[in-house]
Structure 1
Amino acid sequence: MQLQRSKVLVTGADGFIGSHLTERLVAMGVEVRALVLYNSFNSWGWLDSAPSGVKESIEVISGDIRDPHGVRKAMEGCDVVLHLASLIAIPYSYHSPATYVDTNITGTLNILQAARDLGVSKVVHTSTSEVYGTARYVPIDEEHPLQGQSPYSASKIGADQIALSFYRSFSTPVTVIRPFNTYGPRQSARAVIPTIITQIASGQRDLKLGALHPTRDFSYVDDTVAGFIRMAECDDVLGEVVNIGSGFEISIEDTVRLIADIMGVEVRIHTDDVRLRPEASEVERLWAKTKKAEHYLGHVPAYGGVDGLRRGLGKTIDWFTTPGNLAHYKTHTYNI
């Protein structure tokens, strides 16, 4: 499938990954409709900061993924749906789990029902590496058992299974992309890399963090976006789940040290108990096996390995340390 010949709906286009994806699609010459969360400020989220050429090229619809009528209206006339809209903050899922069921599971169901009825050519549904829970073996392939260790991850497991069930039950053309820990410019400070960078950038040298020993497979946002586009274009992954990651794991503590080295500072790390997950909820190890993405999509991460991580972190640090960008973040507040 050639996206340049398609009309593409991006849900969650106002968010971190969604805004980057929208910009990339516009640069490719794709006709894009962006679904953003309705709010009284008429904010388009990160799309408000997009170049004027991007904003002039897209059709923006404000709505709510939980509203089946609004979702259907947003999808009318679209050939491809890249479904990213969801609640993703793990700490907030402990506080308000019902909102995660409504947004992530019911919201995905609304997309699938409309796609089935409207005859959409393809739906790319966004999963997360959190659905695997703590790795039982590494690297983690797509056959790894699923384990909901937080209400967030449980809701994403439910959403993934609903999506795959529509493929199996109704031949709805669904594919599931499973990004590992995406990072980059515009990411929320609820994530660890922006938390580290913004604390340092605001002058702090005594950093407040959660657990330091878990490992993560950090994927730079450009690689994740490339994975989305290749998933949308590939006709051989319908009904399939595909991991998108760097194929490299690093501990949180070593990530802190790497960021501090790039930023040329010395830091002290303090464990802030409020930032710790409940013991059985912490995902101890994530490391993606990316052979399936390479085989089906021809996707090889441009920012893989420690050298790629250093390059991606450098770009991320450059963005966050720009005063106008840093001003978006409350660096002395714990973001759940």
Structure 2
Amino acid sequence: MKILVTGADGFIGSHLTEHLVRLGYDVRAFVQYNSFGSWGWLDRCAPDVRGKFEVFAGDIRDPHGVKKAMQGCCWVMHLAALIAIPYSYHSPDTYVDTNIKGTLNIVQAARELGVDKVIHTSTSEVYGTARYVPIDEQHPLQGQSPYSASKIGADQIALSFYNAFDTPVSVIRPFNTYGPRQSARAVIPTVISQIASGQRQIKLGALYPTRDFNYVMDTVRGFVAVAQSDKSIGEVINIGSNFEISIGDTVKLIAEAMGVSVDVTTEQERLRPEKSEVDRLWASNAKALELTGWAPQYGDKEGFRRGLEETAAWFVNPENLASYKTDIYNI
């Protein structure tokens, strides 16, 4: 079975590509074309999978290239997206083109080619600040940033093709994924990379919001579980740890895991606009267990601590840390 993974050059996509290869699947990795010939994180993939997957360089915004990439594929795992919330404040048009139109290109080609299944990647940001917890898949959607609004649009485009044309679409909705290779625009790698570079005065935004952090290998296993389950077609499925923790307490756990003491400075430029900040996220993962059998291996506080230790161990490697600019604010 050939599987197309879009966004395979990114954080989650590269881990997913490696995992699928190890499971014995025939993987075509869709990476963003660039003049450097870079395959993103796949340039540094694990030795045991190197050379064992096909690479297609293209642009998710180009319907012709997308359709060509999907030819001969049974499953499509669609992860390609713009994800940085601060960048969406000043460049929202690019989020519409990439996230909404890119998803339209995927499901339109899937319909025309008769693809067996499309796994479309959503985000917990579409829920906005929790109106009740834990957040299940029936929770109202709230576009509190251009990014989250674009993902709501993308989700609805994907589901509309299931409803209108019976295109076999499943929507996987990961909560805050973290782990090795994550961009420093996210809070956990921001903290870890600053500490790893020798800083003890950590610069952050708001500390009070809570999140449901999901270790990347749990997220990757979630993709496979959703893909393998016939019950997932036409469904939206949360992938989360069902463990809530504040950003401030997360910083303390990271410092403990790395054996240091730190102070936190809140910088104005790192704060979201007041009505755009998502104050609380806490996932219900009951539907994932019921429909796919998936459950987190890094759930609860001890699992989170273990995931942070594994993430920190990767970042402190000088070769890995060299990929990060720890002295600037990454949007």
TM-score by length of 2: 0.99
CA displacement, residues 2-23 of structure 1 (integer Å, 9 cap, x when unaligned): xxxx110000000000000000
Find the aligned partners of 2:50 and 2:260 in 1 and give their Cα distance. Answer: 38
CA displacement, residues 231-282 of structure 1 (integer Å, 9 cap, x when unaligned): 1110011110000000000000000001001111111100000000000000
Count of aligned pairs? 331
User: Aligned residues: percent identity?
Assistant: 72
Q: Which amino acid aligns with 2:44?
A: S
Find the aligned partners of 2:132 and 2:281 in 1 and give their Cα distance. Answer: 9
Instruction: State which of 84, 92, 109 in structure 1 corresponds to 2:79.
Output: 84
* Residue 151, structure 1, aligned to residue 146, structure 2: yes
Aligned-CA RMSD value: 0.5
Q: Which amino acid aligns with 2:52?
A: S
Q: Aligned with 2:89: secondary structure?
A: helix
Q: Which residue of 2 aligns with 1:317?
A: 312
CA displacement, residues 173-199 of structure 1 (integer Å, 9 cap, x when unaligned): 000000000000000000000000000
CA displacement, residues 17-46 of structure 1 (integer Å, 9 cap, x when unaligned): 000000000001100000000000000000
Q: Which residue of 2 aligns with 1:261?
A: 256
Q: Aligned with 1:55: secondary structure?
A: coil
Instruction: State which of 24, 45, 50 in structure 2 corresponds to 1:55.
Output: 50
Q: Please list every run of 5 or more consecutive structure 2 residues that lacks an aligned counterpart in the other structure.
A: none
Q: Which residue of 1 aligns with 2:179?
A: 184
CA displacement, residues 135-176 of structure 1 (integer Å, 9 cap, x when unaligned): 000000000000000000000000000000000000000000
Q: Which residue of 2 aligns with 1:72?
A: 67
Q: Which residue of 2 aligns with 1:3?
A: none
Aligned-pair CA distance for 1:51 = 2.7
Q: Aligned with 2:49: secondary structure?
A: helix
Find the aligned partners of 2:70 and 2:292 in 1 and give their Cα distance. Answer: 26
Q: Aligned with 2:232: secondary structure?
A: coil
Q: Which amino acid aligns with 2:2?
A: K
TM-score by length of 1: 0.98
CA displacement, residues 51-94 of structure 1 (integer Å, 9 cap, x when unaligned): 34423111101000000000000000000000000000000000
* Residue 222, structure 1, aligned to residue 217, structure 2: yes
Give matches, 1:283-302, under 5 Å.
Answer: 283-302=278-297
Find the aligned partners of 1:51 and 1:270 in 2 and give their Cα distance. Answer: 36
Q: Which residue of 1 aligns with 2:302?
A: 307
Find the aligned partners of 1:56 and 1:198 in 2 and give their Cα distance. Answer: 30
Aligned-pair CA distance for 1:97 = 0.2
Q: Aligned with 2:269: secondary structure?
A: helix
Find the aligned partners of 1:139 and 1:211 in 2 and give their Cα distance. Answer: 22
Find the aligned partners of 1:132 and 1:265 in 2 and give their Cα distance. Answer: 35
Q: Which amino acid aligns with 2:244?
A: E
Q: Which residue of 1 aligns with 2:100?
A: 105
Q: Which residue of 1 aligns with 2:231?
A: 236
Q: Which residue of 1 aligns with 2:330?
A: 335
Give matches, 1:28-43, under 5 Å.
Answer: 28-43=23-38
Q: Please list every run of 5 or more consecutive structure 1 residues that lacks an aligned counterpart in the other structure.
A: 1-5
Give matches, 1:115-194, under 5 Å.
Answer: 115-194=110-189
